[in-house]
Amino acid sequence: MNAGERDATGGGISWWGGGVFSLLFFLFPVLACAGFPEDASGCDDAASCATASGEAGAGIASSAAASRPSSETARARERLLAYLKGLGSRPAKKLLSGQRVDRIEGPRALAEFREISSATGGVLPAIMGYDFSVRNDAAPYESYDALVSHWNAGGLVHFNWHAANPANGNVWKWPLREPRFASLADVYTPGNPIYDNFRFQMSRVADRIRLLEDSGVVITFAPFHEANNHNPRTPFWWDGRPPEEYKALWKYLYEYLVVERGLSNIVWVFAQTRFFDVTEYYPGDDYVDVVGIDYYPVDGRVDGYDAVTAGALAAYDTLRSEYPSKPFAFTELGLCLLPGGGEGGRSDEACSGLDVRPIVEDISVYFPETVWWMTWDDEHYDFGLGKQRNVDLLLGDPRVVVLSDEPSAAR
């Protein structure tokens, strides 16, 4: 989510069929106390980690399932891409439902999914979204049991990465843009602290992706999102920068994860905001698998005033025409109903209790080649599907793919 669209503060597995609550209750003790050991490379700080050739994390997957050959995960990645590209030709079950969760550990673990389950009698979205944000360099790794279980139950797993500002010593502090360092080239050019700090963050993200790969999980991954946001309140250190610097940064991350760390379980997602040119920061076909926009309508619908007059339709049409081989997604979706259609004034009251049944019809009419939507979490406002009306009818629509349809097992 970007500051232009919030206020200034800001196979399945057999036992799944026994009911979602049995899985959630089974996971709660694990989520409350599980953690992975510190960086297996022995890196104690950013500078030493930057010289460790990014080989951290080889040992942290010992708590996960037996390691799978990367070639197997690479094949699963290709199957997932083929599945996404083929959704548009299906008569039904063609639009993947998604819900981001704010927490996977502690009292609020999977709260958004629990609320949806309560409203639908156990029907859950196909995609579980989460974040790679490294908020404390010294913190132990989170348990990803919930995400792995979602994949094993037939679901898909999506990640953003709200990366800490490397000019701020990797301290996660909102807004992430401060301090505004001179050039993104400092991030990918050796010989300065910004480079060292970001290298450390990359190593920890790679460790987490390796953990998921060793558990057989393919992820859709949207790093450095909303780069085309030129709003003065933009919150991220990577957006609104010179396009060539941004493209070099994206390729640097790609080369590190795919080539240097050898990860084969990433579907790369280029996610932009609807307000500005959605092609300006595109890093190239070889580095992108899926394109999309982060979309926060103010009229409570995915059509009408907001879509027609505020850029979503134009952004969709441009992405589909410029990159026709890349599936399109609503990489973030947060519905609110604001008086007068203004961009400010979001609140829990304005963003909850909405009728979500029209989501599918609106997307089918206005954005027909969309392959998924990802509803945002409840951290700041009550965007979650479980806070809305008629989520049972939304997820029961025959066009919608839910968890029990097992998209991760698609062939």
pLDDT reported for residue 350: 87
Q: What confidence score (pLDDT) does residue 186 get?
A: 98
- Give residue 400's identity as a one-letter amino acid code: V
Which candidate, 108, 100, 152, places its Cα nearest to that of 127? Answer: 100
Question: Which pair of structure tokens corresponds to residue 391?
Answer: 């989520």
State pLDDT tens for residues 367-409.
999 999 999 998 888 899 999 999 999 999 999 999 999 999 8
φ/ψ (deg, to 5) at 149: -65, -40
DSSP 216-275: T--EEEEESTTTT---TT---TTTTS-HHHHHHHHHHHHIIIIIIS----EEEEEEEETT
Q: What is the pLDDT of residue 410?
A: 72
Question: β-strands 370-375, 400-401: how paired?
Answer: unpaired
Amino acid at 229: N
pLDDT value of residue 8: 28
- Residue 125 contacts residue 403 (beta carbons within 8 Å): yes
Phi-psi region of 406 (alpha: psi -120 to 50; beta: other; left: phi over 0): left
69: CB partners within 8 A, 6+ apart: none
Quick: pLDDT tens for 13-33. 222 333 344 344 434 333 333
- 3-409 fold: TIM Barrel (3.20.20)
Q: What's residue 123's pLDDT? A: 98
- pLDDT (0 to 100) of residue 136: 57
The whole-angstrom separation of Cα 220 and Cα 135 is: 21
Q: What is the pLDDT of residues 271-280, one digit of tens each?
A: 999 889 999 9
Residue 46 has a pLDDT of: 44
Mean pLDDT by 10 residues, the chain (411 residues): 38 34 40 32 40 33 44 94 95 96 92 97 98 68 92 97 93 91 97 96 94 96 95 91 98 98 97 94 98 91 67 93 98 85 72 93 94 93 94 98 93 51
Residue 402: phi and psi, rounded to 5, are -120, 180
For 160, 184, 390, the CA distances from 353, given in Å and listed in that order, are 26, 41, 9
Residue 31's pLDDT is what? 35
Q: What is the DSSP letter of 37?
A: P
What kind and span of H or E run contains 160? strand 156-161
- pLDDT in the model for residue 140: 65
